[in-house]
Structure 1
Amino acid sequence: MRIGLITEGGYPYVSGDARLWCDRLVRGLEQHEFDIYALSRTERQEDEGWVPLPAQVSRVRTAPMWAAEDDGAGYGRRARRRFAEHYGELAAVLCAGGLAEAPEDGSALEADRFGNALYGLAELARDEGGLVGALRSEAAVRALERACRSRGALRAAREARVPDLLTVAAQLEHALRPLSLDWYEDDGLGAADLCHATSGGPAALSGLLAHHFCDVPLLLTEYGVRLRTHYLAAPDASPAVRALLATFHGRLTAEAYSRAALITPGNGHARRWQERCGADRAKLRTVYPGMDASRFADVGESTDCADPDSLVWVGRVEPTKDLVSLLHAFAEVRKEETKARLRIVGTPAGSEGAAYLGHCKALAAQLFPDEAEGPHTVGDNPVSFEEIGDPELLSLADAYASGAVTVLSSVVEGFPIGLVEAMLCGRATVSTDVGAVVEVIGGTGLVVPPRNPRALAEACVALLRDPERRERLGAAARARALELFTVEQNVAAFHGIYLEIVSRTPVRRVVLDDSGDPLPFAVPAEAHVPGRWTERPHGLVARGGPARPQGAPVRATTIPATGGAR
């Protein structure tokens, strides 16, 4: 079958989020044909290029989310009236507030109004050209203002000032950029048998439009719930801005959940969020991320330990990892186990991570003053800060093999990839109870409350003193990881889901002859088998929407995949 894989800030870009997961999925399903539709987040991401692409990727179409170019489409009176109607309706729904989380909340009508307004804007963009200029216009701001001042609007919306309205209008223009793309024709996403959006937000919106215009079924995968990110974003924004944008993203998420054929959360934590945000439980299929177990096979199958007195932390250095609590916990561990050492292996995440790393090094020197060479350096200090590639840690597997117990001290975590890596290495683990940790561990490690150094220390001491228990937990952890979290199980799950969706989707393409009548058997079954089995007869056209009268308003590129980096 032909899969339209829609990504945002991800595959096939070298620095893309979830790049490895998508690449493994595409390579693992070589019996299918993939078209990649990629929304880039930054200009730098585009400049860095793509990863090498396998032969089953037929083409790649890209468009930037970081910039939008007005195509200069001049709307006539009728088009301006259509825009005012649909955008005004969208603004009215946002100012009414509420989320379509459950049928009993009485918001089904509001959900229909939101969907009608959204698709009305998309149809306007398809018929008349892009929406960039219209969404940035004074008319859009005035429509928001009228909705905010209308009777029955949210209190926070009624209190919106001009700067708030300008901010909301700009954010809506950014979020609605996929409406202006030319991806939704028969030679684009309309040619796919299935659209697979790898995240919520803009990627899911593109899948919604393919479903609306071409009846292509939508599969939505979320390893991190995008709506939760929006709720936590912009804490310094005014109440009006937060309320209006939260309603918009909530409505868009509910619409995607409603229209998707199936939804695949990456863990139970994400699944519970999706259910609270309106997802139908019958549509949910939990599919865990797939890890390359072969990288850790040598360490996992060996019972040797480089240092039975060492604790190891591996990951990106940033405040949410709460290394401060880990250092305080290790100070308690040293009181009980004087030979214990702590190895912190990771690289800082941006400037904030670099500053946090400096703070942690200073704290380590302060907590162990008699063993440090200076106030801000770590020499013989029992805490070492290292990176992958150091002489003693040439690989990620070597990092986990360097200690007896792997520790995770995060206060915020989605799916704990580092924890799964430690499990594949057969290491006993001590983790904080955040995100999907308990679900991943499944009883094969110790779990303590977050921000509790004393509990963390007690769990670490218990495992350092009991090598037999460590060995039992490590073996059980490796067996669990091999059963649930490998690339093979991930690919097999999605292969089955693809077949399930397509098997219950009616044939959509109707081929017409020269007189405009349907042509029977024009798309035989062989057309769905990988390979060039059929060629469309000359002069026949597939039934679809009208051709765009003007060029794509958002700068987009279509580049045939050549199997290599751009």
Structure 2
Amino acid sequence: MRICLIAEGSYPYVTGGVSSWIHSLMTSMPEHEFVIYAIAAEKKQQGQFKYKLPPNLIEVREVFLDAHLEEAAQWGKRYHLTPEQKRNLTSLVSGTKDVNWPELFQLIRSDQFSNVSEFLSSKDYFDLVEHLAKTNYSQVPFTELFWTLSSMILPFFTLIRHDIPEADIYHAVSTGYAGVLGALAKVIYNKPLLLTEHGIYSREREEEIIKANWVKGYFKDLWINYFYTLSSSIYELSDQVITLFGRNRDIEIELGCNPDKIEIVPNGIEVADYATVTRTVQDDKIRLGAIVRVVPIKDIKMMIQMFALVERAISNVELYIMGPAEEDSEYYDECVQLVKTLGVKNIIFTGMVQIKEYLGNLDILLLTSISEGQPLAILEGFACAKPYVCTNVGGCRELIEGRPDDDFGPAGYVVPVMHYEEMASFVIKLCRDENLRIQMGQNGFARVAHDYKRTAFINSYKQIYKELVGGIHTWQV
């Protein structure tokens, strides 16, 4: 079987999280061939892989969202679009979700469109922007709306015009651009389409846009609705949707996904893989750790603010932030400056490390994200019997406190997003109570060993692939 995994902004350019999940999936199924269809932001990332690719990964097909910059355009062309084509394009940018995806894909991939930039220089595109300006944005400068819409749909058009690798099954690991390409593959090849949604992509983009300085206030809704519209493509065209916990399923249904399509398959690891992780340093220091990329959605600034309070109360404490910082160097610089401004002494940004070399010497693990799915980092910490203090995002509460039928006991504490003072109070409590740390760590270990086995996760996907390829899953254009 040949499986095409469609990934945006993750494997093989970024380590941890979804990337680790993808790598684990492929290496656990040597009997199948995999193709990675990788979506990256910039062409300068080409070939910059962070993983040793497994032998059953037969191709990495790379596409870049800035590819349109190489295109030349002629102004003023007229495409003579039909009323239905105009309606589809208007629905795409206005956020109504009322898009006939097969017809829109067919238009963008047709010979009518010699390149993306030329369409955005056409009279038809001007008419589209003018219509939206009159109906929704009459008080907004027309040129701002024109260029905002252009920056929105340029990547979308660019991706749709790329060739899709042939496979027996298409598996998108998020909605958004990856989901759109999965929907396109479904329409072109009429093969089974599977979506795994770790976090809710459209909700994550909404949170980022609300905070973003580069989006003017009156365009925030436009951007947010656009990403919800993109996500609707794969909710509509997928044969099956996998999510990791119950709350995600509820949100997907709320966003328009057919509940009959959705199945819950939790992440998993093997605790035996962490059996050799032991404490190698014997001293009186209490070491906190975070397995995390230094990017805004992980809210490292909250972690720094929280640790500033902990450091004032606990003299022998250290914080290790373990993960890459190069993904958003500007944000990393801001974090370093915040450390200096707050006068924090004992934060260490390790960069990329072998996590197992650090886990044994850590006493408490932290997660301060604004959005998550079901973090593998928490499962890794539990496999080493370490307690967690984390924000109430994604499946974190379920991991820390357990499901209703779970009697293992709490494995740490959960606090609201951005509540660094409350998080600090729980961290201080654990710092001062070694027995509580040990007990909560053991609770987490028991939970992950019982409920989150890697073999169960892999076997579930093997069965899903088998059933999808063996079934009849057709889309009539």
2:29, 2:333 → 1: CA distance? 39
Q: Secondary structure at the match of 1:219?
A: strand
Confirm whether residue 424 of structure 1 aligns to residue 383 of structure 2.
Answer: yes
Give the Cα–Cα distance (whole angstroms) in 2 for the partners of residues 388 and 182 of structure 1: 36
State how far apart, in whole Å, the 2-side matches of 1:328 and 1:291 are: 33
Aligned to 1:30: 30
Q: Is 2:476 aligned against 1:501?
A: no
User: Could you say which residue in structure 1 is the equivalent of 2:144?
Assistant: 163
- Structure-1 residue corresponding to 2:131: 147
Corresponding residue for residue 387 of structure 1? 350
Of 50-59 and 417-426, deviating more is 50-59
Counterpart mapping for 1:68-83 below 5 A: 68=68, 69-70=70-71, 80-82=79-81
Q: Which residue of 2 aligns with 1:535?
A: none
CA distance in 2, matches of 1:73, 1:453: 53
Identify the residue that residue 354 of structure 1 maps to in structure 2. Answer: 333
State the one-letter code of the partner of 2:170.
C
Please say if 1:314 is aligned against 2:301.
no
Specify which structure has the bigger relative contact order, considering alpha-carbon pairs within 8 angstroms and separated by 6 or more residues. Answer: 1
Match of 2:444 in 1: 477
**C-alpha distance in structure 2 between counterparts of 1:74 and 1:163, whole Å:** 18
Q: Per-residue displacement from partner, 1:161-193 (whole Å, max 9, x unpaired)?
A: 12212220232122222221232xxxx43xx22
Aligned counterparts of 1:149 and 1:225: Cα–Cα separation in 2: 30
| 1:279 maps to 2:257 | yes
Instruction: Report the count of equivalent residues.
Output: 458
- Assess if the C-alpha contact under 8 Å between 1:427 and 1:474 holds in 2: yes
Distance 1:175 1:94, change over 3 A: closer
- 1:212 pairs with one of 175, 187, 191: 187
Deviation readout 1:434-475 (Å, 9 max, x if unpaired): 343212212322223454455434433443454443333212
Which one-letter code corresponds to 1:350 in the other structure?
S
Where does residue 66 of structure 2 map in the other structure? 66
Q: Among residues 144, 162, 169, which one is paired with 1:181 in the alignment?
A: 162
What amino acid maps onto 2:319 in structure 1?
Answer: R
Counterpart position of 2:86:
88
Residue 312 of structure 1 aligns to a residue in which SS? strand
Q: CA deviation at 1:81?
A: 2.0
Q: Using a 3 Å threshold, how does the CA distance of structure 1 residues 247 and 362 change in structure 2: closer, same or farther?
A: closer
Question: TM-score, with normalisation over the residues of structure 1?
Answer: 0.70
User: 1:413, CA displacement in angstroms?
Assistant: 4.6
Paired residues of 2:75 and 2:121 also in contact (CA < 8 A): no
* TM-aligned CA deviation for residue 495 of structure 1: 1.2
SS state of the match for residue 221, structure 1? strand
Does 2:310 correspond to 1:344? no
SS at match of 1:279: coil
How has the CA–CA distance of structure 1 residues 34 and 397 changed in structure 2, closer, same or farther, with 3 Å as cutoff? closer
CA contact (8 A) 2:412 2:440 kept: yes
- For the residue of structure 2 that corresponds to 1:88, the secondary structure is helix
Relative to structure 1, the CA distance from residue 38 to residue 400 in structure 2 (aligned partners, 3 Å threshold; closer, same or farther) is closer
Residues 360-415 of structure 1, C-alpha deviations (whole Å, 9 max, x = no match): 245245xxxxxxxxxxxx4xxxx3536279xxxx8423433224333444555554
How many angstroms apart in 2 are the aligned matches of 1:286 and 1:411? 22
Give matches, 1:128-527, under 5 Å.
Answer: 128=112, 130-148=114-132, 153-154=135-136, 156=137, 159=140, 161-183=142-164, 188-189=165-166, 192-231=167-206, 232-233=208-209, 234=212, 236-238=214-216, 241-291=219-269, 293=271, 296-299=274-277, 306-307=282-283, 310-315=286-291, 316-317=293-294, 320-321=299-300, 322-331=302-311, 333-334=313-314, 340-346=316-322, 348=325, 350-365=329-344, 378=345, 383-385=346-348, 387=350, 395-410=354-369, 413-441=372-400, 442=402, 443-452=410-419, 455-505=422-472
> Are the counterparts in 1 of residues 274 and 384 from structure 2 also a CA contact under 8 Å?
yes
CA contact (8 A) 2:117 2:154 kept: no
SS of 1:447's partner is strand
Contact 2:305 2:420 in 1 (8 A): yes
Q: Quick one: distance in 1 between partners of 2:10 and 2:336?
A: 27
Gaps of 5+ in 2: 403-409
Q: For structure 1, which segment, 461-470 or 276-285, has the greater mean C-alpha deviation from structure 2 after superposition?
A: 461-470
Q: Is the 8 A contact 1:428 1:445 kept in 2?
A: yes
CA distance change for structure 1 residues 344 and 3 in 2, over 3 Å: closer, same or farther?
Answer: closer
CA distance in 2, matches of 1:283, 1:71: 43
Counterpart CA distance in 1 for 2:349 and 2:159 is 42
Aligned-partner Cα distance in 1 for 2:18–2:244: 12
Q: Where in structure 1 are there 5+ consecutive unaligned residues?
A: 100-110, 366-377, 509-544, 546-566
1:116 deviates by 5.8
**Aligned-pair distance for 1:114?**
4.1
Structure ID, larger Rg: 1
